[in-house]
Structure 1
Amino acid sequence: MTISIAIIFGWLIVTTVVGVLAGRNQAFSMENYFVGGRSFGTFLFYTTAAAEIYSAFAFLGLAGWAYSKGMSIVYAMAYGSIAYGLYFFIGPRINRLGSRLKYISQPDFIADRYESRWLGVFVAFIGVIFSIPYLQLQIMGAGMIVQLASGGAISWQIAVIISFIAAVIFVYVSGLRGIGWTNFLQAIIMLFGMVSIGFIFPHKFFGGTAKVWEILQEIKPNHLTLPDSAGLGIFWVASVSLICGLGFWMWPHIFTATYAAKSEKVVRRNATILPLYSLTMIPIMVVGFTCAAKAGIDPAFAGTITKPDHAMLIALVNNFPPLLAGFIGAGGLAASISTSSGLILTSSNLMARNVIQKGFKPEMEDMAVAKLGRALVPVLTVLAVLLAIFAPSMLVSLLLVGYSGVTQFFPAVFLGLFAKWPTKAGIVTGLLAGLATVVAIKFMGVPSPMGLHEGFVGLIVNFAVAAVVSSFTPKISPSTIDRFESTLR
């Protein structure tokens, strides 16, 4: 497995060097550090967005879900269509407001639109709560990918430490600009890895994909229908597709990335072409179904897979040359680190900018905020790595409702962009009601109607409460409404 290890860590060194060089000769400022100086063109913004969106889940989770559960994995394709269609309309407006009103983070917009710095603090705090476990997932995914791709030669803990030392270096030095240029490289190897294995796996085991479907139809027909082998039916798929589609751009790190585009045209163009990258998820799903078919007829193969998320990489290491395992492992590590780096930077941004400066030290200079944010990069990374190593299940409950949680920001963002009537009290109570609904269904045994996803139910409650409370509470001042209207014209 020496070849695999050399490829994986060779690629890690290359991307780290590129990330550090990206920040060379760039003036250090809050805007440069957190939003790349708002200078990303079409291609750099495209690869940055693609690499941040398609994380370790794209390499491990998609195949693992298709392997163990079946056809409900189609939700991953459905929600992308919703997300990119929505982005065509909201993305340019987010970019315009960020550029003209000098927003650095998602809570900047929400706090300004609803005239409440404490709402901004609350949104920032919730954003960090959901970003840390998401970061922990990426860290654990990175370690798992390297461990499996190396055939166990490197423990996942060692892999995590090495990988995230590299990530901290280029994020600390170069900020979003470093992330953008490393994501350019990461997107290339991710594209290669995700597309190639979708063809290689079914041909290796069955001579093509047709045989995969024939075998599954014979031995596990529920795997190819809805409800599938996990009992997940059409209402679940539809509601989770909608909640993920609407929540897609509500993740703080992806929302903030929109500020980095140098123009609205860049954002709109990417809303059109980014869906092409989502096609790379199809080959990964095919790999999962291929492993399910192989496991169904080969008990020895099935016995090697201890966890569904390990299916693709274990099959790869045991049945393919080390050279291929190295490249695919590098692609998986790239997917993990590209998303992780954005989460690290954005979490430090939210803490320094919105919790500390906006909440408790409004006199703090922007340069001091940038320096504090950079100082928090290694602190937050160490915290997430320690949680991943010593308490791997501690934050799973938060992670499971991650999308459900961040999607509750959607009414505040969408209504803030397109409507005049929502009030501060309406948005706050709606957000609290939506989050409470998610918690009640997910953790307190409250039944969800028709098997709908808890995040979807929470979103309906959120909108309803926001509308009702806004009808009888003080309106946002006309000066603020006029300022936003004139900025968006």
Structure 2
Amino acid sequence: MSTAIFIGFLAFSLLLSLLSKGRHGHGRQSAKDFFVGSRQFSAALVFFLSAGEIYSITTMAGLPGGIYAKGPLYGVWFLGYVLLAYPVGYFMAPRIWELGRRYDATTLPDLFLGYYGSPALEKVVAATAILFLLPWGQLQFTGLIAALKALGWHFDPVLLICFAAVLAFLYVAISGIRGSAYVAVLKDVLMVVAIVAVGVAVALEAGVQPVFDAAGAKFSTTMGAQDLCFTMSTILLQSLGFYVLPFNVQNVFTARSPDTIRRSLIGMPLYMFMFPFLVLASYYAISANLKLGSPNEAFFAAATSLLPEWSLGIIAAAASLSALVVLAGVCLCISTMSTRNLVPNLAESRQKGCACTVIVVYLLLSIVLSLTTSNLMVTLLNTAYNGITQFFPGVIIALFGWRIRKHAVLAGILTGQALALALYFTQPPLFGFSAGLAALLANVAVVVATGWVFQQRLDPVATR
């Protein structure tokens, strides 16, 4: 029964992707519509598309896995950076949209090319963005494997991953970003139902106070200086970096207007009501001493222990779509940067075909990484953020219209990303301080030292 429900929801998601073509399904879909929906998405579609990137398999598997592995306080950073990212995005995202319209931008590298007038900077941003987005695909596959294994589906992981990759490819290939947006609506409904159902089951079966007491007995409930430093510095880094994530920038460009973006962001914090239910599931896995193959299975192990067998099809569908919507969005983002920014003068008629080829290559790389390496999902998330947030100073300079040498911005980005990688591989004692934030500070220092900042605003015509 659960398998039939699972397959039914996945089939419905493909139907939604086909329906998303709508009137655009007649004739050849333009590259702009394929990549950014012709900049005509409503506030509702932008809301679900953006929420699909925020509340993903990381929410269902990564957060509970982090709490299960390292204690209740480890989840504080996740809650904090998401909440802080909303006000940052409320002011930042509409200005990114306006800058994108000025330069007819489709990608983050387009913004750098338009504002700084440097093809070299454009290509460095595109290439390094793709590099640091590699863990994002691995992240989705890792969560998907954990979900389906914990739900008792003992298929070969290679088979599961290949099946997921085909679905993600189809969402994008059918209608581009429109397919992801429509499927995101179904994904959000199922995810909310699944998370609330498991949390309520824990409360009814084990009680709220007992699972909190058990978690508190196993892990310390006080935060030491090093933990506090890690939490605060990571929250700051990721809240700044969230709206320079290349796929979030591309989502911003789908909106009809800046007001559309503001309206979509106002409702985003409402999703936070799911987190108490996730925490309950995590604490139950700790208190019940559930034996897991990996910490990422904590939420799904709680679901398997408490819910009827038929409902596991809904849990599996919610987890799968949570991973696939993000995976499809990242695939589209990487393919857009490859075809528009890395391959010079590619005709629009060839962009969609080349984009599909890039998607296949990216999915294959992500499959290899997920099968050959094993990491806690929050570690993969932090690694990606450490590199991508290095674009933040360059974006802020463009948003405020400051004059600065393009070579200074380029040097800052490369310095920050090189330092982020060096700190990741060498693991020096930073006393809990975020390696990504340390790299970002070095980035800013290089920009200030090598650039010449003028406070007057740029003439929009002169910047073209």
- Fold-level similarity (TM above 0.5): yes
- Asked if 1:184 is matched to 2:185, the reply is yes
The alpha-carbon distance between structure 1 residues 24 and 216, as it changes in their structure 2 partners (threshold 3 A), is closer
Q: C-alpha distance in 1, partners of 2:82/2:300?
A: 25
Q: Pick the aligned partner of 2:277 from 272, 275, 283.
A: 283
Q: C-alpha distance in 2, partners of 1:203/1:350?
A: 49
Residues 198-347 of structure 1: pairs in structure 2 closer than 5 A: 198-204=199-205, 206=206, 208-217=207-216, 219-222=217-220, 224-227=221-224, 233-295=227-289, 301=290, 304-347=291-334
The alpha-carbon distance between structure 1 residues 88 and 370, as it changes in their structure 2 partners (threshold 3 A), is same
Residues 437-458 of structure 1: CA deviation (Å, up to 9, x unaligned):
222322224432x421101111
Q: C-alpha distance in 1, partners of 2:257/2:226?
A: 41
Residues 178-237 of structure 1: CA deviation (Å, up to 9, x unaligned):
111111111111121122222222322x2x2122223333x3250x2213xxx9611110
Q: C-alpha distance in 2, partners of 1:215/1:444?
A: 36
Q: C-alpha distance in 1, partners of 2:447/2:4?
A: 54
Contact 2:31 2:348 in 1 (8 A): yes
Q: Pick the aligned partner of 1:466 from 433, 443, 447.
A: 447
The alpha-carbon distance between structure 1 residues 106 and 21, as it changes in their structure 2 partners (threshold 3 A), is same
Partner of 2:437: 456
Partner of 1:298: none
Contact 1:68 1:292 in 2 (8 A): no
Q: Which amino acid aligns with 1:460?
A: L
- SS state of the match for residue 482, structure 1? coil
Contact 1:139 1:388 in 2 (8 A): yes
Residues 238-292 of structure 1: CA deviation (Å, up to 9, x unaligned):
0011111111112111111000011111111122211222332332122112221
Structure 1 unaligned segments of length 5 or more: list them.
296-300
Contact 1:44 1:181 in 2 (8 A): yes
Partner of 2:159: 158
Q: C-alpha distance in 1, partners of 2:281/2:308?
A: 17
Shift in Å at residue 322 of structure 1? 1.0
Q: Pick the aligned partner of 1:128 from 127, 130, 133.
A: 130
Residues 402-448 of structure 1: CA deviation (Å, up to 9, x unaligned):
11111111111112101413321211111122122222322224432
The alpha-carbon distance between structure 1 residues 184 and 216, as it changes in their structure 2 partners (threshold 3 A), is closer
Partner of 2:364: 382
- SS state of the match for residue 447, structure 1? coil
Partner of 2:349: 367
Partner of 2:341: 354
Aligned length, in residue pairs: 459
- Asked if 1:482 is matched to 2:435, the reply is no
Q: C-alpha distance in 2, partners of 1:139/1:68?
A: 20
The alpha-carbon distance between structure 1 residues 35 and 416, as it changes in their structure 2 partners (threshold 3 A), is same
- SS state of the match for residue 13, structure 1? helix
Q: C-alpha distance in 2, partners of 1:314/1:398?
A: 22
Residues 64-123 of structure 1: CA deviation (Å, up to 9, x unaligned):
111121212111111112211111111111112223421110100012211111111111
Identical positions, percent: 26
Shift in Å at residue 165 of structure 1? 1.3
Contact 2:198 2:302 in 1 (8 A): no
Q: C-alpha distance in 2, partners of 1:434/1:309?
A: 30
Q: C-alpha distance in 1, partners of 2:204/2:17?
A: 37
- Asked if 1:11 is matched to 2:9, the reply is yes
Q: C-alpha distance in 2, partners of 1:241/1:400?
A: 10
The alpha-carbon distance between structure 1 residues 266 and 380, as it changes in their structure 2 partners (threshold 3 A), is same
Q: C-alpha distance in 2, partners of 1:20/1:133?
A: 29
Shift in Å at residue 365 of structure 1? 2.3
- Asked if 1:421 is matched to 2:403, the reply is yes
Contact 1:107 1:124 in 2 (8 A): yes
Q: Which amino acid aligns with 1:403?
A: Y
Q: C-alpha distance in 2, partners of 1:395/1:330?
A: 22
- SS state of the match for residue 60, structure 1? helix
Q: C-alpha distance in 2, partners of 1:428/1:387?
A: 29
Structure 2 unaligned segments of length 5 or more: list them.
none
Shift in Å at residue 395 of structure 1? 12
Calculate the aligned-residue CA RMSD, in Å.
2.5
Q: Which amino acid aligns with 2:195?
A: M
Shift in Å at residue 368 of structure 1? 2.3
The alpha-carbon distance between structure 1 residues 412 and 40, as it changes in their structure 2 partners (threshold 3 A), is same
Contact 1:16 1:167 in 2 (8 A): no
Q: C-alpha distance in 2, partners of 1:62/1:445?
A: 23
Q: C-alpha distance in 1, partners of 2:407/2:7?
A: 51
Residues 143-173 of structure 1: CA deviation (Å, up to 9, x unaligned):
3322322x13433322222222122112112
The alpha-carbon distance between structure 1 residues 388 and 212, as it changes in their structure 2 partners (threshold 3 A), is closer
Q: Which amino acid aligns with 1:119?
A: L
- SS state of the match for residue 99, structure 1? helix
Residues 383-422 of structure 1: pairs in structure 2 closer than 5 A: 383-389=365-371, 391-393=372-374, 401-422=383-404
Q: Which amino acid aligns with 1:160?
A: I
Q: C-alpha distance in 1, partners of 2:171/2:82?
A: 29
Partner of 2:121: 119
The alpha-carbon distance between structure 1 residues 398 and 188, as it changes in their structure 2 partners (threshold 3 A), is closer
Contact 2:18 2:179 in 1 (8 A): yes
Contact 1:53 1:254 in 2 (8 A): no
- SS state of the match for residue 260, structure 1? coil
